[in-house]
Structure 1
Amino acid sequence: MSFAENKSLRWKIIACITVAFFVMGAGLAFTMLIEHYVLKSIGESYKSNSELNFFSNELSRLENALELYIDYRTFESIDTYYAVSTGIENLCDLMQDSPSINALRQKEYVVQQLARSFLYYSSRAVSEKRANAPVSASYMQSLECYRFLMEEIQKLNILYMQKNAEVYASNIRNINLLFKLYAVFFMLFFASVLLLLNFLIGKITRPLAEISSVALRVARQDFDIPLFNRKSHDEIGNICMAFDRMIISIREYISKIWEKARTENELRERQMEMQALYADAQLKAFQSQINPHFLFNTLNTGAQLAMMEGADKTCFFIEQTSDFFRYNIAQKEDATVEEELGLVDNFVYIMKVRFGKRLEFIKNVPDSVFHQKLPGMTLQPIVENCIQHGLQNSMGKVFLSVKETADFVEIYIGDNGAEFDPEIREEILSAARSSSPNQLALKKNSQADEKNEHTGIGIINVFSRLRIYFHRDDVFEIFSGADSGMKFLIRIPNV
């Protein structure tokens, strides 16, 4: 079809006429084939006479073999007898085996019964001869059956001739009728071909009417019309493609207003990203207010005093605190997952010293080293949020697990606090993914509310930095844990 679509109208019309003539030729060949089979049936009209003659000849051979054996008792004659008798029995099986009101079938039945009687008596005669008995009545009866059998075969042959003559005459009449039907058939067939050509040519030229209708609508400034979308490259297809290009150009001109609206939406999204960056810079500004030299000098001095006094636990605690703040104040733009997990260990140790047995931290991290990059200070704010949320109960429980898949390093952080409000979850995710200033302000205000005091700008800041860092929205998720509480999922692309 694609080959024909690229051809001209003239080629298509000629192709239709050629196909019509080809179909006519196929019809003519079919009728000639039917005539051939009719003539073949005429040639086979007298086949039954030929088969009956063969049957008569076999009976003569059997009778001759029987006489030779009775007179001379030779091995050749008995072998011939048994071979021919087997063939005659098979031929008898093909004949009419029951009486019939039809004269021809009845005659076949009589011939078959006489043939079986001849076989029976001749077989008895052969058996008696092989027993060295004198020529008996069985041999004479077989000869009498043979004589009657041959007479009946002649009568059956005449009946076959009469029937076959009738069949031959009927076939001749059928041929004459067939020639008359040929004439009617070709007239009808020729009319059908003309109708087919009219349909095909109308189908080829019908698009011209459609083009005329579309041209009138365009003249009336009606551009809300369907495109032709014709894939053919003939004359009509080229006109349709030209109309389609013209209508598309007009629609593109009209759609410029919508393009401007999309541009404004993109600018608004950029403004939201800048707002998230501003929130991140604000958080870092709060962190940088601490003088790092004074802080580290103070912590080192405290660690030395604890060491001199033999307070090993106090010394280790101060060292962990120093490492935590050193990482925090370093203001690294990005870090590895391994570094962030180390910072979480430092922070959890400090919190355990503070809260004692009230805090239980469960960590499930594989032994492998994770070199995947992510924004600095990503995991610690979430762990801190879970600790505060879990400690609302008498016993706070926080868990952290890491699982590596083919595409991501998945970090789960959760607690056993109160059930998480779905509305707050949707507000946090919406604010993180859109970085809308209004939503950020909403979260700042919600920090003052007792119920939502742990869902503030810190979590939104972490999620916004992840979204901007990886340029995708599927790197974080919030959902309720198996036994209530909050559960955070961080997906770090495994690249």
Structure 2
Amino acid sequence: MKNKLPRITLQTKLLLAFIATTIIILLVNVYMYYNINQMITKLDEIYLSNVSLNELTDSLREVQSSMTDYMNMKTTDAMEEYYRAEQEFYNRINKLNDVTTNNRLQRMEKNIRNLSESYLDMTSQTIDAKRGRNVEKYSIRYKKATELYEYICTYIYGLNNEQLSENVGSYKTMSLALKYTEYVSLSILLLIALCNIVIITIITKSITKPIRKLAETANQVAEGNLEVQLVEVQTHDEIAVVGKAFNKMVLSLKEYIDQIKNSMENERQMKERELMMETHLKDAQLRYLQAQINPHFLFNTLNAGAQLAMMEEADRTYEYVQNVADFFRYNVRKNNETVTLEEEIESVDNYIYILNVRFSGDICYEKRIKEEMKEQLSRIQIPSMILQPLVENSVNYGIRNIDWQGLIALSVYEKNGYVCISVKDNGIGISEDMICKIMNSQLKESDVSKDSNGVGLNNVISRLRLFFNEEEVFEILSDGENQGTEVIIRIPIN
């Protein structure tokens, strides 16, 4: 009785087809890798000196840049960056030649090392003078350090060029050898690829017919035809397994599609509900924040109007009361709405007039708006009662008790894709600690003046962030004591 021949699977067929060519390709690749790696190593050695000089130049630039940053900002981060860059540069110059020799390039290396040590000493003195706030010393030393920096850069550039010229000859020789190796290797690979194609063509003819039929059926299913004839399975290899799995997939695909559609519809409805809830929440937050208007300012203003009526004739009293009426009519009418920037600025004009009546004209007010910007004011929408609280803070905390003429400047301009609204005073300024408290909503009741109208900076910042959905919409700037304060609102142009 004859023995039954073992069944040959697709995996066995493919392994037999590719094993020989794979070994040959592997050997060729190893040969190519070895030769090319050797040549690349030699090329790297040729230009290692140039790379080292380039890295030395980059390290030198970092020292100069970090020193300059510290001169400008004088922050702990800038100082730490300087010391890190200084240490890295020091480690690099220690690798340079320090021995007297007849070789010109090595002598240039030694000169660069000596100049770099002098430069590091000068930068260190500059930092120390800056920390000691000795303006004259750190200015002179910074200038000297910069001159040394430029001279060292020039020296390194010259050495780099000379080394590059010296390495060109070696590079050309290695480049020709590398190209020759590439041509030989490419020829071998092309020959192997040709043999491989012939072998694959012969073997795959025996297995592609059922796969082709399966692919044709799969294309019909991909085009949306789920009523295709199922694939006939006649073999007992891996293709048979794929055919059975494909038939099962076709039978259940419609059910899967229905389930996915239902799931997507449910997810869409949930997303719509979430977006609606989020919209209502933001609307509620805006309305809550806009509702925080204290009548304290109203009472003070009306009292001032009554006093003025007793002291003067009716004309000025009429003008004052008219401005008061316009101001509070705007507040009541616009309390729960968005307004144009033009309307908000008009409200500020009325508010400044009222303050000057209350405080005998001590407040100087300027509007700095270019003609081309005025045309946009009626198109820009913002939450109501945004600018008046800023002006009120400038009066209460900036210029009320100063010994010089108080000035409040309102500016509108475009910058970097934003419409910027600036409220700036020349008052007593504000500390960094207070700025941090305001920006992080950490102000306490004790920090707020009793004369405030209740719409504080926390309220303004929160409404702006909600309205424009941006965190960086508000900024407070102050150069220090008696240097004034500037508040900037950035509105995206789009």
> TM tier, shorter chain?
0.3 to 0.5
In the superposition, the TM-score normalised over structure 1's length comes to 0.38
Rg: which structure is higher?
1
In the superposition, the TM-score normalised over structure 2's length comes to 0.38
